[in-house]
Amino acid sequence: MDKSLGQTKQVKVRDSFTSSIGVLAATLGSAVGLGNIWKFPSITGQNGGAAFILVYLVCVLMVGLPVMIAELLIGRRTKSNAVGAFKQLEPKRPWYLIGSFGAIASFLIMAFYTDVAGWVYSYIFKSLNGSLVSTNPSVTSKVFGDFVSNPMASLIWQWVALLVVGIIITAGVSKGIERITKTLMPVLFILLIVCAGRALTLPGAKEGLTFLFNPNFSKITGGVILAAMGLSFFKLSLGMGTMITYGSYMGEGENIPKTAIKVMLADTLVSILAGLAIFPAVFSFGFKPDSGPNLLFITIPTVFASMPFGKVFMVMFFILVSIAATTAMISLLEVPVAYLIEELKWPRRRATLLSIIILALVGVTATLSTSVLADFKIFGKTFFDLYDYLTSNLIMPISGIAVAIYLGWKWGYKRIADEISNHGEVKSQGLIRVYVIILKFIAPVAIALVLLNGLGLFKLK
Ligand code: PHE
């Protein structure tokens, strides 16, 4: 059937998402990632609980969401990869550099993200074979320390992560990305709800809830607001070309603002659920709330080891984190792959293979940052930290400002209104006006503050 179609068709149709639910699954899959597990809940707990969540939502509305909609619109209009999109829109001007910047950034993020994803994958097996089951943090800390300081073990797991994502990307947009995220996202939700349910019914769970939600407005400083803005960028996968690329696979009838709002809300829900799965249990067993790798790889295993049937929940937990990391990596890898396919006319398989080979090479520097290269520092940072710093503090904000300015000032109200409303189909004049004002004035200024703050040129307490 497919064959005969292929023979009669002269022009090759660009592979795209085939349904609104597929669009939602893929886009949400990109947003949901390690950020929901090790960044959002701990940042929330440490910075004012419910008050922080409120601030985060305002930041998302003022900065994250407007830029996300802008990227999706650029992608859908041009039906092109992140670099090609700007070449098409502005053939004579260097706007395409925004896209190139994004593609490079997606590589840098992948370099350390695949490293951590590898650790997470391996923890599924470590929890299965029992090597992690200890209620003593110094034991789990040693297991983690031994693992990451063993170059070969961490490299092999990183390659496994690259291979898994590579296989999915080779299968294409509809048969790979869309199909896999449509299957995995519901599984992630179910596992998350089960884990949160378990944690919430433990004795003493209330203390975790207090840590997570107790509103403390006195903690909301300028610095916390900037951190919330930066987080909204990382969470919604902005400034990396991912949303431009995914937007390019969306159909003309797709209601982009609605999709973006759904993704933002569902992503925030996943972060809150992750917090509910983690902190009530952490406090119930008398552990300290940690963040980053320590929370995920040292505290959490001890917490699970402390509860009845802990091993089962530990396996479920690491499966769900693996799913989150995988669907985010898919969107990151698709950026360079789409570029190679469209700009250099490479077949998808070759584009994917080359990308994962380069990633494996760049990734080595990040992975070895916890072993052989631990003392090798650039600007006082290991490769791992440097890639994280450069992408979050430099590239994401710069490309976010550029996208907001490009759309707000170059496209202007009329064109944005036309695109966002699907050429007049969706009617909400008032909201579109507000959107354009945010994009033109508020978002660029706010992101500029995040950028200056990240570079240490402007400090807020
Ligand atoms: N949004 C992902 C997370 O929260 C990270 C990511 C950033 C994915 C940029 C793609 C692009 O973990």
pLDDT of amino acid 213: 94
Q: Whose CA is nearest to atom 6 of ligand 1?
A: 237
Token readout for 223 is 């610095």
- CA 236, CA 17: separation in Å to the nearest integer? 19
Residue 397 has pLDDT above 80, yes or no: yes
109 touches 242 (CB < 8 A): no
pLDDT attached to residue 265 = 97
The pLDDT score that the predictor gives to residue 330 is 98
pLDDT category of residue 11 using cuts at 50, 70 and 90: low
Q: What is the CA radius of gyration of the chain?
A: 22
Q: Ligand 1, closest atom to CA 33?
A: 12
Mean pLDDT of 220-238: 94
Ligand 1 pocket residue status of 328, Cβ below 6 Å: yes
Helix pair 256-284, 50-59: axis angle to 10 deg: 160
Rounded average pLDDT over 288-317: 89
Alpha helices, DSSP H, located in 344-458: 348-367, 383-389, 396-405, 412-420, 429-437, 443-454
Give the distance (Å) from ligand 1 centre to CA of residue 240. Answer: 9
Whether ligand 1 lies within 6 angstroms of the CB of 331 is answered as yes
Q: Is 341 in the pocket of ligand 1 (CB under 6 A)?
A: no
**Ligand 1 centroid to 330 CA: how many Å?**
10
Tokens found for residue 243: 């949303």
Question: How remote is the CA of residue 29 from the centroid of ligand 1, in Å?
Answer: 9
58-67, 140-149, 289-298, range with the lowest pLDDT: 289-298
Q: Is 33 in the pocket of ligand 1 (CB under 6 A)?
A: yes
Give the pLDDT of residue 108.
Answer: 94
pLDDT (tens digit per residue) in 340-362: 999 999 999 999 999 999 999 99
Looking at residue 6, what is its pLDDT? Answer: 47
Most confident range, picked from 55-59, 131-135, 139-143: 55-59
* Ligand 1 mean position, distance from CA 293 (Å): 16
Nearest CA to ligand 1 atom 7: 237
Is the pLDDT at 280 greater than 90? The verdict is yes
Q: Is the pLDDT of residue 456 over 90?
A: no
* Predicted local distance difference test score (pLDDT) of residue 133: 81
For 56-79, what is each residue's pLDDT tens digit? 999 999 999 999 999 999 999 999
Mean pLDDT of the chain: 93
Cα 390 to chain centroid distance, Å, stands at: 16
Label residue 426 by pLDDT band (50, 70, 90): confident
Two tokens at 435?
A: 């959107």
Evaluate if residue 122 carries a pLDDT over 50.
yes
Answer whether 235 contacts ligand 1 (Cβ < 6 A).
Answer: yes
For ligand 1, the distance from its centroid to the CA atom of residue 231, given in whole angstroms, is 10
Q: How far is the CA of 440 from the centre of ligand 1 (A)?
A: 25
Distance in angstroms (rounded) separating the CA atoms of residues 168 and 173: 9
Give the C-alpha separation, 398 to 282, whole Å. Answer: 37
Nearest ligand 1 atom to the CA of 324 is 12
Atom of ligand 1 nearest to the CA of 39: 4
Q: Is any ligand 1 atom within 6 A of the Cβ of residue 240?
A: yes
Q: Is the dihedral angle over the CA atoms 155, 156, 159, 165 positive or is it negative?
A: negative
- For the CA of 267, the closest atom of ligand 1 is 4
Ligand 1 atom 12, closest CA: 33
pLDDT digits (tens, 9 = 90+) for 31-49: 999 999 989 998 998 999 9
pLDDT of residue 164: 98
CB-based contacts of 315, cutoff 8 Å, min separation 6: 124, 127, 128
Please give the distance, rounded to the nearest whole angstrom, from the Cα atom of residue 307 to the centre of ligand 1: 31
Q: Work out the pLDDT band at 339, boundaries 50, 70, 90.
A: very high
- Residue 423 pLDDT: 93
Of 272, 271, 279, the residue nearest 303 (C-alpha): 279
Alpha carbons 304 and 10: distance in angstroms, whole number: 57
pTM above 0.85, yes or no: yes
Residue 3 pLDDT class (50, 70, 90 cuts): very low
- Say if ligand 1 is within 6 A of residue 34 CB: yes
pLDDT at 461: 67
For the segment 106-120, what is each residue's pLDDT rounded down to a tens digit?
Answer: 999 999 999 999 999
Give the model's confidence band at 429: pLDDT under 50 very low, under 70 low, under 90 confident, else very high. Answer: confident
**Ligand 1 centre and the CA of 112: distance in Å?**
12
Q: Identify whether the C-beta of residue 273 lies closer than 8 Å to the C-beta of residue 196.
A: yes
Q: Whose CA is nearest to atom 10 of ligand 1?
A: 237
- Cα(67) to centroid of ligand 1, in Å? 15
Confidence tier at 10 by pLDDT (50, 70, 90): low
Q: Is 391 in the pocket of ligand 1 (CB under 6 A)?
A: no
pLDDT at 1: 45
Pocket test for ligand 1, best of 237, 327, 391 (most atoms within 8 A of CB): 237
User: Is the Cβ atom of 234 under 6 angstroms away from ligand 1?
Assistant: yes
Ligand 1 centroid to Cα of residue 200, in Å, is 27
Q: Is the minimum distance from the CB of 237 to ligand 1 under 6 angstroms?
A: yes
Q: How far is the CA of 138 from the centre of ligand 1 (A)?
A: 31
Residue 325 alpha carbon, nearest atom of ligand 1: 12
Average pLDDT over residues 160-184: 98
Do the Cβ atoms of 221 and 460 come closer than 8 Å? yes
What count of other Cβ atoms lies within 10 Å of the Cβ of residue 78? 18
